[in-house]
Chains A and B, each alone.
Chain A
Amino acid sequence: MSGGAQQPGPEGLPSFLADYHVAPGVADELFDANGNMRPVWAGFIRQLSQLTPDQVTERFARGDQYLRDAGVFYRQYSADPLQEREWPLSHVPVILHASEWEDICAGLAQRAELLERVVADLYGPGQLVRDGHLPARLIAQNPEWHRPLVGIAPASGHFLHHIAFEIGRSPDGSWLVLGDRTQTPSGAGFALENRMATARIFSDPFSRTNVRRLAGFFRAFRNAMDALPGVAGRRVAVLSPGPGNDTYFEHTYIARYLGLPLLEGEDLIVKNGEVQVNTVSGPQPVGVLWRRLDAAYADPLELDETSRIGTPGLVDALRQSNVNIVNALGSGILETRVLLAFLPKIAEVVLGEPLRLPNIATWWCGQPAERDFVKQNADKMFIGDALSRALPFDIGSAAALAGEARNLQTNALPDWIDENAPNLVGQEAVTLSTTPCWVEGRMQPRPMSIRVFAARTPQGWVFLPGGYARVGRTGDATALSMQQGGSVADVWVMCDAPAAAETLFDRESFRREDTGALPSRAADNLYWLGRYVERTEGAIRLLRGYHLRLAETGDPADASLVEVGNLLGALFIDVTQPAHAAIAPALGAARVCAGKVRDRFSVDGWAALTDLVNSLEAMSGALQPGDESARALGVLLRKITGFNGLVHENMHRTSGWRFLTFGRAIERADAAAAVLAAAIPGEDPSSGLLDMALEYGDSRISHQRRYRIDPTRDTVADLLTLDVHNPRSILFQVSAMRKIAEDLPDAKVEGRVSDVLGVLLRLETELVVAHPDTVTLDCLHHVRASLAEASAALSAAYLV
């Protein structure tokens, strides 16, 4: 359908709202209980109605394109650990008025204070249990109550620093807390990305000047971390569980956004009670870890002994009160579902006032009266695991909803409740409000909940003025989660006046961040990324050379072709394989390395690499050997050159760039030596092999210009080994590596050079004084052995 702007319907509503029917007994974000559009939406709806349906489609596509380009994804937990899914953005934002928002935040600030008091008691005096406000078994048998942490007061004085709340609107229009996220709340980074996307969709003529900005929240949180005790002179870092995690993208994104290094457990060591990060400049002290991994995995020595992603000794470092972990290890216990049954009462005991914002009504079946109530009202409840940390709308495997037991062996719900009573809670099956969602050209009401983010600052709790809405795929509120096909939406907090513009950095206190020393593991991944990308490029060049020759002769058994095939074979490239299969291993390895250092990559660089991988996958259909393969390889060659260009033109000349470039140089020098060793094994190599070597070195034209004779053994050896001006020569690359090695930490200490620099200086000198006729097979083997020595020395000094 195309045509003009969307004409108002009979009730003065645009046509895309004609089918928008709010279900009875359900609150709606767009329309109030009387069916009138809420004023806060009016401007947005009016502007949307002035677009043609095609324009709307085009704008939504623009937002999706932004997210694809930015590489926003989430991981679906599945058999394939690296499967990534496109980000499911519901394009229409949820719009709330600032005054309503302020009320919500005031209630949540009170709740944050309550949660802090509860967790401090659970790891401290234990008064709540002693006074009977919390049953001891719910704590003692809770997998998130970690005994080694009992009695350890956080260095900062607080357990909670960055938390989130899942809230929803109940049918009477009031707000409810559905769950607390205190372990490692995810979503703030995604909220930022959603905002970037909606900013592109609802650009002019949409007016967003009254929508509150997000950057100030992150600035406040970053400043608060910098201000924690003992942080001066020590690093602030993000601690991630690694690329296997479903929200890894967010870890990389937020680390890049805040300018913090992204670390994993193996980057850290604990020495004399201090947490240190291994960097290319040696160990450096860490003052704050903003952790994104669950506490159990943080220390295999004292917490979950099976963890492979933790740091041995981390808990002991906490005991010596030397590092701030945000949020404190152990805070995850506050996410336990059954606590919601006790928090309203605890608020009155601890704070002396009722909760300003109620939480979802919850009953623990371990108490007889509560159990009977749950049994009698089972048709209006979620019934599930008391100690679960999942949100009420993320139904687990053994749970009941609306009296209907899901995946239960026994059909009799009351019996099931009686048998498992102490392990069960009932929660009111609240009907969430609906919000408009664009479905095939029309608005449809869909259930939603909002995640609200809070950060502790010296001035108190501050809130991200916006958030991250989860929107159901259908009218069924149990399918809110993305893993179940739900989508996410931006949240706009609308003021009556233009909102202040904000950026991440204080204008008045602008300072260039000290980029800090590069963590060794990141350096290692960059180094290998450089090597694998170069290896991929080399393989493409050689294979293209082979297929071009095959296209000329048309006969794989031709002697000249067999000779070239053997040369490739000496470099472990099998010409009988389809072209893409010969390239895939190196490119796949490059992608894995890149995936581990995404926080250090530009968005464009990542997009270029992804494009390359996709192009290679597209080649995996039946490509004919010869001309067709050669042309496809030519396309790949241009793309990989584009990637290299992006990286090398745009990457800051920090130590990350040095390791990447060093990797590329060493791989190029080594491959050149390997190709030459295969091409000029004796005194009188064949012209076909000499030609192939030149083609590999992209040096045919240079050769013509420089020597004005047909290639000979000596001219090829000269050009590809000793020519200081040829970027494809071994000497050129060795000199480049030597220059980089001089810039690495501790390259020269009291007149002594580092091992890696020593190896390279020696090799460079040997090549500078060499003659083409001394470039023998032995010489080339010696070059390769020296390069291996340089690689080992680099690893030993900087990468482990």
Chain B
Amino acid sequence: MRYEISLSIGYNYGALSDHARTLVHLLPSDLPGRQTVSSRLLTVDPMPNERRDTTDFFGNAMSVLAFHQPIDQIEFTLSASAERLAPAGSLDLSPRLSDLAADIAAYRSLDPAAPHHFLGASPRILQDPAIADFAASLRAPGSTVRQTVEAISNAVHAEMRFDPEATDVDTPAQEAFANRHGVCQDFSHITITALRSLGIPAGYVSGFLRTIPPPGQPRLEGADAMHAWVSAWCGSEAGWIEVDPTNACIVGADHITVAHGRDYADVAPVKGVLRTSGDQTSHHSVDVKPV
């Protein structure tokens, strides 16, 4: 499926911000076998004094921006066209969960796709006994890794209430889980925490959803803004599989990836250090049209 994507994110600061530096993860990239990006353009207003487009550790496109003059507002506009391919087949090639550890240990590399990066703690993923108990309760004897991943993603969806007002970008997963509400970031962080507690490598994916669903299908939650979902490593044979706990589905041709990492901190769309004291306001809109 081919898409035209447009996004705009803006911030207004109450006071002038001096020497702003920003890291931006907004440009989608080619992903062999999954996604082809035929054009992409990110404009920043006001024009930064420095801009370097580079890639981060995980291979995501990253823009480094710096302003030498004080600014009081900033606007990011993205337009891109991309083709997303549905994953090939739904054959379960993953091992039993009990055999996964040996598969992981046999993976001798620190390359960006290595499962080792996606286990244990990361900046926004800490161990949580409540989520671990929840995950353990879903562990069926003899089930495969992929079955477990889907079961947990679906269970998080069933357990949680989608509520854009309840949490913000800094809400910890434990808190969102305790209150059983949140948005795609919270659903994803909870799913990642649960999967890692079972020893399943799991990461965070940021991206877009098509805005208007195909005829006869419901509109997906999270289509008005940037979306997030989960990537899980299901053994050396099956590799990485993506699930969307916010919509209780396997990620298919309706999702367009921007960046992936261990958790939100690795892929935050706009990460900035702004020396400002005033209140800030923001707007954020996304439109994804099939063409």
Contact = CB atoms under 8 A, between A and B. Distances in A.
Contacts of A304: 123
A582 interface: no
B11 interface: no
B119 A141 contact: yes
A762 to B, nearest CB: 28
B23 A271 contact: no
A129 B110 CA distance: 7
Given A270-B66, A305-B271, A312-B21, A139 B119 contact: no
Given A300-B273, A301-B23, A313-B21, A136 B66 contact: no
Contacts of A789: none
Contacts of A131: 108
B64 A126 contact: no
Most A CB contacts (10 A, CB to CB) among B58, B66, B109 go to B66
B116 A301 contact: no
Contacts of B75: none
B68 interface: yes
A316 interface: yes
A135 interface: yes
A270 B50 CA distance: 11
A661 to B, nearest CB: 29
Interface in A57-82: none
B111 to A, nearest CB: 8
Contact of A140 (B105, B117, B272, B273): B117
A122 B58 CA distance: 16
B15 to A, nearest CB: 14
Contacts, number: 70
A151 B111 CA distance: 12
B265 interface: yes
B273 A136 contact: no
Contacts of A151: 57
A299 to B, nearest CB: 9
A772 B111 CA distance: 81
Which size class do A's interface residues fall under?
A: 20 to 34
A506 to B, nearest CB: 40
Nearest to B120: A141
Contacts of B126: none
Contact of B110 (A139, A148, A301, A302): A139
Given A136-B109, A141-B119, A148-B57, A301 B50 contact: no
Most B CB contacts (10 A, CB to CB) among A130, A140, A300 go to A140
Contacts of B121: 141, 143
Nearest to A366: B105
Interface in A120-171: 122, 126, 129-132, 135-137, 139-141, 143, 147-148, 150-151
Given A141-B120, A270-B66, A305-B265, A136 B21 contact: no
Contacts of A140: 110, 114, 116-117, 119
Given A150-B57, A305-B271, A130 B120 contact: no
A272 interface: yes
B174 to A, nearest CB: 17
A135 B21 CA distance: 36
Nearest to B52: A316
A618 to B, nearest CB: 41
A302 B110 CA distance: 19
A720 interface: no
Given A150-B57, A269-B19, A300-B273, A126 B109 contact: yes
Contacts of A141: 116, 119-121
A316 B48 CA distance: 16
Interface residues of B, number: 30
Given A135-B105, A147-B57, A271 B68 contact: yes
Interface in B21-72: 21, 23, 50, 52, 54, 56-58, 64, 66, 68
Contacts of B109: 126, 129-130, 136
A312 B107 contact: no
Interface in A292-325: 300-302, 304-305, 312-313, 316, 319
Given A148-B56, A312-B21, A272 B50 contact: yes
A301 B274 CA distance: 10
Interface in A94-142: 122, 126, 129-132, 135-137, 139-141
A301 B105 contact: no
A126 B117 CA distance: 14
A270 B21 contact: yes
B119 A136 contact: no
Interface string B1-28: 0000000000000000001010100000
A656 B109 CA distance: 53
Given A140-B117, A141-B116, A126 B110 contact: yes
B108 A130 contact: yes
Contacts of B104: 137
A312 B68 contact: no
Contacts of B116: 136-137, 139-141
B23 to A, nearest CB: 6
Nearest to B101: A422
A272 B67 CA distance: 10
B114 A136 contact: yes
A130 B110 CA distance: 8
Contacts of A316: 52, 64
Nearest to A319: B54
B133 to A, nearest CB: 16
A312 B19 CA distance: 10
B23 A136 contact: no
Contacts of A272: 50
A136 B123 contact: no
Contacts of B273: 300-301, 312
Contacts of B114: 136, 140
B169 to A, nearest CB: 11
Given A141-B119, A271-B66, A301 B108 contact: no
Nearest to B117: A140
B68 A302 contact: no
Interface in B95-113: 104-105, 107-111
Given A136-B107, A137-B116, A270-B66, 20 more contacts: A131-B108, A137-B104, A139-B110, A140-B116, A140-B117, A140-B119, A143-B121, A147-B56, A148-B56, A150-B57, A150-B110, A151-B57, A269-B19, A301-B271, A301-B272, A301-B273, A305-B123, A305-B271, A313-B64, A319-B54
23 contacts: A122-B110, A130-B108, A136-B107, A136-B110, A136-B114, A137-B116, A137-B119, A137-B120, A140-B116, A141-B119, A141-B121, A147-B56, A148-B57, A150-B110, A151-B57, A269-B19, A271-B68, A272-B50, A301-B21, A312-B21, A313-B64, A313-B66, A316-B52
Interface of B: 19, 21, 23, 50, 52, 54, 56-58, 64, 66, 68, 104-105, 107-111, 114, 116-117, 119-121, 123, 265, 271-273
Closest 3 A-B residue pairs measured CB to CB?
A: A140-B116, A147-B57, A141-B120
